[in-house]
Every structure is written in structure tokens, then in C-alpha cells.
Amino acid sequence: MGTKEVLDKVFERSSVWRVRRSFTLHVLRFVLLVSVLYSNAAYSQNITVSADVTPKIIGINETATLRVTISANQQLGNIAPPQLKALPEFNVSHGGSSSQYNLTGNQISVSVTWTYMLRPKKVGQFTVSDIRIPHGNKIYIADPISLQVLPTSKKPLQSESTQDVFTDPFSSSTHKVEASVDNLRPYVNEQIIYTFRYLYTDRIPSFNSPKYTPPSLRQFWTAELERKRAQRQVIDGTLYWIEEIRVGLFPITAGRVTIEPAKLSLPLSTGRGRPQSSNVLITNPVEVDVRPLPQEGKPTNFVGTVGQYRIHAQTDRQTIEAGDGLTLRVQASGTGNIETVPAPTVPTLPNMAIYDPQITDSIGVVDSKVRGSRTYEYVIIPSKEGDWTIPAIDYPYFDPQMESYQVARTVPITIDVLPNPNGVVGTTPAHTTQSDLHLLKQDIRYIKPDSLKLSNQPLQPHKHVSFWVVQALPIVAVLSVWFYRQRQAKRDPKQLREQYAAKNALQIIEDAKTHSTAQPATFYGTLANGLYQYIGDIFDLSPGGLNPELVRQRCEVAGFPESAIVQIVDTLTQCDYVRFAPVATNPTDIEDMLNRASASITEIEKERQLKI
Amino acid sequence: MKDWKHGRIGDKKRFVSRLTFLICFLCFSSWWKYAYSQSQSTLEASYRSADALYQDGQYQQAAEKYEQIASSIQDGAVYYNLGNAYFRLGNRGKAILNYERAKRLMPRDKDTNFNLKVAKARNIDSFDLVKPFSGFSLLYGALRPNEIVWVGLIPYWIAAISLIAIQFIQNLRFQRALRYVLLIGGIGWLFSLLLLGLKIREINLPYAIVVANEVTVRSEPDFGSETIALPLHEGTKIQLQEERNDWVKIYLPDENSGWLTADAIEKI
């Protein structure tokens, strides 16, 4: 019984379903077809399991990476991680897993990779085997792999791998470097292009960028070439990003020259926090066989110029007076190492002095070829009138494309040298610096205008009265003010008292000393008078109306230092006390009183001086 | 009363004498100003005619006119134009001499410095026989002596005003600040006087220019003495050490000296 008949039997008696019978029939047919196809595909899917360890030889302190991969040409669904047999010789740590899904034409390929870090515990030859991955009803087993552990590490712990390919275990991206030149048999001084290529399937997840270390290129002149943007290219079925660094090289000497490998330090993957050595990719060395320039056909005036060149010469003027300078501008332009091109030889010219040229370069890179122009500016000074000709200037070079010597040539230039109107030609200046030569071609600037106001500009100002007047004026002004203040003080009794307050007070204190031992009461009285006199003079008060408290108030208002106020008030209080209630005093007390009185006056005077 | 009368008479006399002095002073100053402006206008007329001669290409006559003006007034423009006239006449030594004189009076003038370079570039001797001067010249090289005086007067006057103000100001803080201003102004003034002294000393150094086509350097002021160096050529700047009769002693490199005939050089 076919499918159609079965369905007919199921639906034949149901009037409701009968309406949609035809549609449902089609749907069921489609479902059956898909399931049949799926079952066929399941039977035909090709599942493989592989294991790989890198590197295969490690030191006892190093770590190997074990990668177990299951791949199929259909969806794998949920897959359990690999079952590893116990590896007692290693410390095993899981480094994560990654999966890849590729669709090429109608073909699907799926792979899942688990990464493990193996750190050896002992030395020896070991086999990692019995790696199983169960899937569906089957168990898939990877081929055994061997790993050798050496007693000593050839490299330090943070070592560099010396390879040109690296696969990042975390991102599963592949990184490769390579180096090449476009011409392995160049001539001396012929440009070749050295290309360093960095190929990668994906960037390493890191904050840092790969670091390029160029090879030593001491046997070449070098020129930086234009940089291309990263490009994508499929190589052996894998899509790579390609970045290039290109350098123009001009071999200096003939013979076999080896360009040492270039290096690319890849950054460490971030985010995993697992121990890992940094990876340095190293290119292959490149051997170049530099050919010497042929002797055959070499011009006698050849100076080693290689490339393709043109030459052009012109002067800044055709007519000149004898003794004046003109500029001969010779420009060599073309393709080649223009920076090392020697100056063309200008023939010796009778009655003309030719100076060393000033050189200016204009160099660039076009289509990865170094090209540009170099201009030589010669200053020529004719010393005699007449029609003189600068003959053609030869510029021989070797053309590596034609593999023969060529000569570029300028057109002769005729100069009409007129007699010097001043009749001065004489000897030629002996300067050779570029700035002097430049000045030789310059004329002087024009005279100052006649609208100018002439004035005497003294070179010796100190010999003029005005100098001394302006120097003396400030002194006179200051002295005048000082005298004015003095005079004002003399006219004003208050100021006069203020001015001589300290002097008078100290004089009175000095007098008090004479009574110090014989008549203590007189001594204290005189001392108190002196101090009251002093305070009275300062504040324009009568000394008779003062007492220690009033003195304190006045001094505080005036802003005198607190220490001075205390001293002077204490002294006055003590003086009054002794005056009106005599007690026995000794010379030390008297001396102390004198010192305190003097000190307080000195301190107050200092403060007053600051204010004056 | 008598004293009062006497005092009043004294005041009147004093007033009359002061008025007489003022009138005399005004008369003198106006006469002097008039005389000065007359001579000034004469000089400027000469200057214009010299310029006209130069523009006509009559460099010899122009140079003579400029020389006349330069003998009456010390102006940088006159020396500059005179240098130009001599340059056009092919007299490079005199041209350099006058550019150097103009440079003393107008040290920042670009035309003067340029023309001096252009003229010196044509010298046969590519050196000057002068001793290096003070390292301070960087500070005052671009200033004229009277400019240094004016620059120095600024801190000087500030210091003086501060000193006067201190006499009157009661505020203690302000007084202290003024004391600092006084100190700084005083130092600035003294420094300007130092620079002025150095500038004047440099100006007074006996520099000269070789104006003869070629002159022989001899060991003694005698034509019979030996030649001790290569001959010097027109336009070379030299520094004089001594003058004796018709000879001048000049500095040579390495602390050596030689003698030249005085008519071959001209002092700047």
C-alpha cells in the first residue's frame, strides 16, 4: 500500500477534512520527503576527530598546546567535550573551545576545537592517546600523538618561537609572515623592492598591535615606499588579510648579499589569563645576487649614476656685467637613487669663476619607484666682457632596463658679458659659503628717502647735558621732598616732638643711671618721667596727665607690638610703685629696669620707623 | 613793620630778577630753536639734492654732498646713502666704512645690515681682524646708546617715585610693596647703566676699515721691516691697537699684531 492509499483511507470518511484533503496531502508529502532526505544525509555525514600538539618537542619548563578537533560536513548539534585519558606526566588545563562554520558552494563544513595546555612534570617521550569524543551513538577516537619533553629548555620561559606561522590557540586565527624582493639579480645602485607581508585570518584579540622589526639593510641605500591598505586574498582555500611593508633598496656593492629575516612580534591574547609565551614570527632570509656594472661601454666621465635620467640647464639671465654673478641651474630628473647622484661636471670656463653648487632635491615615489629631480645651482662670475658660451654638460648614467650606458646632455648656453660701468672687476672674492654666494648675486637696497627728517643721533649720550639732567632730576626730586618733609617737621611742634621723642627719652634714661645706686627713688622717678615724656611726645600729650593704663590704651590704639606695650607698662607700674613705696633695690633690678625701658623704646621706634 | 617793608622790597626785586631771567631764557631758546631749524632745513635741502644726484646716477657728486652733510650731522640715513654712493662707485672699502657707521646709529635697520652683507660678500678677505667683545652684546647690540638711556630711565623714575611716595604713605603694607619696587627699579637702573657703559666702550673701540685696494702688514712701522702676514684687501674690518705717526698697529690672530700705513685705513 502506497502513502497515497493510506492517506485516502484516513481521510475518506471525514467530511470536514475532505475539503482540505488536497492541501494536507501536499504538506505531508513535503514532510516525508524532508525526513527521508535528512535520514539519507545522516547516514552520509563524515565525522572525523583529530588531535594535534604543538610544539612536539618542549623543555621541562615549557608548555605545549593540545588541540582536539571534531569536524563534519553537517550540523553536529550538541557535542560533549573530549574524554581525555589521565595524563599523569602533565598538568593539564583547559584553554577553551572554538567552533567554525564554513559554507563553500553547497558544501557545509563544521568543526569544533578544544584547546588544552600541557605542562610536563617530567622528562621523557610521551604519547597522548585514547582521546574520545562521543557523538550520537558512536564514540570517535583521535589518533595518538607523541610529545617529547627535554630536560633543559632551549629557550627561556617567556620564549619566542622561531617560526613564520603561528596559530593563536584562543582565536584559532592563523598568522604568517614572508619576505621577498622583486629582483634577485639587480645591478649595483639599481632599485629593487623588498616586501614584507603579514598574512592573518583574524586579528589576535589584544589591546596591542603586532610589532614589526625590519631586517638590517646596511648594504643598501633605502627609501620608504608608499604603503598599501590591508587587502583580502584567498590562499589555498583560506581567506587571509594581507598587510605589506615595502622598502626600495639600492645595493651599494656587488656580490651576494643576504637580507636577514624580518621579525613580527605578535601580541598576547587577552582575557584568558593563562600562561603563554610571546610569539615572534620570523621571515625567511632573502639572498640577492648584486651584479657589478659592466665595464663595456662605460663613459670616461661616468660617476656611478644608475637609473633613467634627463638633464636640463639654464641661466637666470643671458646678459650680465663683468664682475656680477649669474646662476647656472642644472636639473637632473628621472628614476633612480637621485639622492646619491654626484654633481655633473661643469667644464672649466675661461674668464669665469664657478663656485660649488647649491643642491635642492625634490624626490618622491611613483608606482613604487623612487623618482624626482635634483637641481644644482652654480654661481658664475665672469671677470671679462665678451660673448662666452657655457658648453653642453654631459650626464652619463647606466640604464639597468636597457643594460647599457646612456648619456644625457644639456644645450650650450651663450652669455653676453658687458663691461662693468664702474670699471671695477679686479680679483674675485674668496668666499665659498652658500650664503655669501647668494649675496654676490644680490644688489644693494636703495637709498633712504629724501623726505626723511634728519636728526643728530648721539653715540656718546654721557657727553650731553640732557643725559645728566634726566639722571639728576629724580635725585633732585627725592631730595626736595625729603627737605620739604624736614622743614615741615621743624615748623610743626607736634612733628618736632615726635621726631625727637626717642632721642629725648633715651637721654633722660641715661640721666637716670646717675641716680641708680645712691638714690633709687630718684632713679625710678627719672626713669618714669623719661618714659612718660616719650609717650607724651609720640602722641602729643602732656606727660603729667599720663598713667600706665592710659599709656597702654594709647599704645594699643596705635598698634604697637604687644610685647613692647607690656614691657613699657610694667616698667612704669614698677617705677610708680617704688617711687611711692620705696623698697630696697639691688643693682641687678636697676639694670633690668634700664634694659627693659630701652628695649621697649627701641621696639616701638622700629615700628614707628616702618610707618614713616 | 620795617622788616615787613624790607621783605616786600626784597620780594619785588626777586620777582623782577626772576622775570628777567625767564624772558632771557625764552629769547635764547627761541633764537636757538630758530637757528637750529634753519641749519636743519639747510641740511635737509642738501640731503634732498644729494638724493637727486644719486638718482641721476651722479654717484661721485652725491657722495661729496653726503660727506658734507655727514660732517654736520650724525644721522644713520646719511651714512647709509653715502655707503650706497660709494658702492655704486666701486669703492667697496668706503661703502663698508659708511655702512658700519650707519649701523652704529641704526643697529636694527634691515637695509643697512643687508647692504653691509652684500658689500662684505664682495670682499676678497673673508674675515675681519677684530677681537670678540663682551657676551652682553646680545642684550644691547640692537639698541642705540640713547635708547639704552631711555630704557634705563623707566626703572630709575619708578624707583624715585616710589621713594617719594614712601615719605607720604602711612599704609604699612603699601609702604613695604613700594620698598620692593624701589629695590627692583634701582637694580634695573644700575643694570641699564652697566649696559650703557659696555655699549659706549664698544663704540669707542678703535675699529677701522681698509680703504686701500691692498695693504701690506709689517712687523714694525717701517717700510724696511719684514712682511708678517698676507696682505689685507679693501673692505676688511680691523681693530687698531696703537697709532704712531703715519702707522697703525692692528690685532692679528693668535695675539699677534702688525703695522699698516695709516692712509690705507679709515676709522669707523
| ipTM of this predicted structure | 0.73
Q: With CB atoms and an 8 Å threshold, state whether A422 touches B90.
A: yes
| pLDDT recorded at residue A275 | 46
CA distance B122 to chain A (A): 5
Residue A424, all three cell numbers: 671695477
| Percent over 90 (pLDDT), chain A | 9
B29 has pLDDT over 80: no
What was the pLDDT predicted at B131?
78
Query: Could you tell me the pLDDT band of residue B161, with boundaries at 50, 70 and 90?
Result: very high
Residue B243's SS3 state is: strand
Percent of chain A, pLDDT > 70? 80
Query: What's the confidence (pLDDT) of residue B8?
Result: 55
> Which among A18-22, A516-520, B22-26 has the top mean pLDDT?
B22-26
Residues with Cβ within 8 Å of A335's Cβ and at least 6 positions away in sequence, in order, are A191, A307, A308, A309, A369, A370, A371
- Rounded to the nearest integer, the mean pLDDT of chain A is 78
pLDDT top residue among A479 and A138 = A479
What integer pLDDT is reported at residue A202 of this predicted model? 83
Q: How confident is the model at residue B26 (pLDDT cuts 50, 70, 90)?
A: confident
Q: Which of residues 10-39 of B touch A (CB under 8 A)?
A: none
Q: Identify the band that residue A398 occupies on the pLDDT scale cut at 50, 70 and 90.
A: very high
- Whether A8 shows a pLDDT value over 50: the answer reads no
- A448 CB neighbours in chain B (<8 A) are 77, 80-81, 111
Which of A442, A448, A470 minimises the CB distance to B153? A470
The pLDDT of residue B34: 62
Q: What is the mean pLDDT of residues B144-148?
A: 88
Enumerate the residues of chain B whose CB falls inside 8 A of the CB of residue A459. Answer: 74, 104-105, 144-145, 200, 203
Say how far apart CA A85 and CA A350 lie, in whole Å.
97
Of B73, B203, B213, the CB nearest to A454: B73
CA distance A455 to chain B (A): 6
Which chain B residues touch A445 with a CB distance below 8 Å?
111, 114-115
Rounded distance between C-alpha atoms, residue B95 and residue B100, angstroms: 9
Among the residue ranges A8-22, A139-153, A198-212, the one predicted with the least confidence is A8-22
> Could you write out the DSSP letters of every residue in A283-298?
PPPEEEEEBPPPSTT-
| DSSP H or E stretch at residue A255 | strand A255-259
Question: Residue A15 has what pLDDT?
Answer: 42
Chain A positions touching B48 (Cβ under 8 A) are 450
Kindly tell me if the per-residue pLDDT of B18 is higher than 80: no
- HSE at residue A594, side-chain half, CA atoms within 13 A, is 20
Which helix H or strand E contains A334, and what residues bound it?
strand A326-336
Min Cα separation B64/chain A (Å) = 15
Q: Which of A430, A462, A474 sits opposite B157 (nearest CB)?
A: A474
Find the CB nearest B54 among A422, A447, A474.
A447
Q: Please indicate whether residue A178 or residue A129 has the higher confidence score (pLDDT).
A: A178
Contacts of A436 in chain B (CB under 8 A): 121, 126
Choice between A37 and A101, residue whose per-residue pLDDT is larger: A101
Lowest mean pLDDT among A146-150, A428-432, A465-469, B146-150: A428-432
d(CA B28, CA B46): 27
Q: What are residue A521's phi and psi, to 5 degrees?
A: -65, -45
Is residue A39 pLDDT above 50, yes or no?
A: no
Do A517 and A590 form a contact (C-beta atoms < 8 A)? yes
Distance from CA of B126 to the nearest CA of A (A): 6
Contact B175 A610 (CB under 8 A): yes
Closest CA to A550 of A576, A569, A525: A569
Least confident of A120-124, A397-401, A510-514: A510-514
From chain B residues 100-129, the ones with a CB under 8 A of any chain A CB are 104-106, 111, 114-115, 117-119, 121-126
User: CB contact, 8 Å: A452 with chain B?
Assistant: yes
- In this prediction, residue A102 carries a pLDDT of 64
| pLDDT band at residue A421 under the 50/70/90 scheme | low
* CA-based nearest residue in chain A for residue B146: A461
**In residues, how long is chain B?**
268
| Residues of chain A neighbouring B232 (CB-CB closer than 8 A) | none
- For residue B9, the model assigns a pLDDT of 57
- Most confident range (mean pLDDT) of A358-367, A593-602, B79-88, B129-138 is B79-88
Give the pLDDT band (50/70/90) at residue A228.
confident
Answer whether B89 touches A (CB < 8 Å): yes
Chain B stretch 133-172, residues whose beta carbon is closer than 8 A to a beta carbon of chain A: 144-146, 149, 153, 156-157, 159-160, 163-164, 167, 170, 172
Which carries the bigger pLDDT value, residue A277 or residue B57?
A: B57
Q: Which residues contact B196 (CB under 8 A, 6 or more apart)?
A: A461, A462, B140, B145, B148, B149, B152
Does residue B134 surpass a pLDDT of 90?
Answer: no
From residue A493, give the alpha-carbon distance in Å to each of A540, A554, B27.
9, 20, 46
Distance (Å, whole) CA A565 – CA A428? 90
pLDDT of residue B192: 92
Q: What are phi and psi of A113, to 5 degrees?
A: -120, 135
Q: How confident is the model at residue B41 (pLDDT cuts 50, 70, 90)?
A: confident
Lowest mean pLDDT of A89-93, A143-147, A422-426, A568-572, name the range.
Answer: A422-426
CB contact under 8 A, A461 and B84: no
In this predicted structure, what is the pLDDT of residue A270? 60
Mark yes or no for CB contact B175/A443 under 8 Å: no
User: What mean pLDDT comes out for the span A10-20?
Assistant: 43
Q: What is the mean pLDDT of residues B148-162?
A: 92
CA nearest to B73, candidates B109, B114, B32, B45 = B45
**Partner residue facing A482 (CB), from B146, B167, B170:** B167
Q: Does B174 reach chain A within 8 Å, measured CB to CB?
A: no
Is the peptide bond between A55 and the residue preceding it cis, with omega within 30 degrees of 0?
yes
Spatial distance between the Cα atoms of A476 and A486, rounded to a whole number of angstroms: 15
pLDDT at A19: 39
Question: CB of A448 within 8 Å of any CB in chain B?
Answer: yes
Q: Which residues of A touch B107 (CB under 8 A)?
A: none
More confident residue, B184 or A556: B184
Task: Give how far A442 is from chain B: nearest CA, Å.
Answer: 7
- Residue B215's beta-bridge partner residues? B232
Cross-chain CB nearest to A461 (options B104, B149, B175): B149
CB contact B260 to A (< 8 Å): no
Contact residues, chain B, for A467 at CB < 8 Å? 149
Interval B200-254: pLDDT, tens: 888 888 899 999 888 888 888 888 888 877 788 888 899 888 888 889 999 887 7
| Per-residue pLDDT, A94 | 66
Query: Among the listed ranges A281-285, A463-467, B77-81, B168-172, which one has the minimum average pLDDT value?
Result: B168-172
Judged by a CB distance cut-off of 8 A, whether residue A606 touches chain B is no
Q: Is A609 on the interface with B (CB under 8 A)?
A: no
Helix axes B59-72, B2-55, angle to 10 degrees: 170
Contact B215, B260 (CB under 8 A): yes
- CB within 8 Å: B84 and A444: yes
Per-residue pLDDT at A163 exceeds 80: no
Cross-chain Cβ contact B69/A422 below 8 Å: no
Within A64-207, strands assigned E span 64-72, 90-104, 107-120, 124-128, 132-135, 138-141, 145-150, 161-163, 165-167, 174-181, 192-200
Q: Measured between beta carbons, which residues in chain A are less than 8 angstroms from residue B156?
A: 471, 474
CB < 8 Å to B69, chain A: 454
Residue numbers in A near B124 (CB within 8 A) = 427-430
Cross-chain residue pair A444–B74, CB shorter than 8 Å: no
Q: What was the pLDDT predicted at B174?
A: 82
Q: What is the pLDDT of residue A486?
A: 79
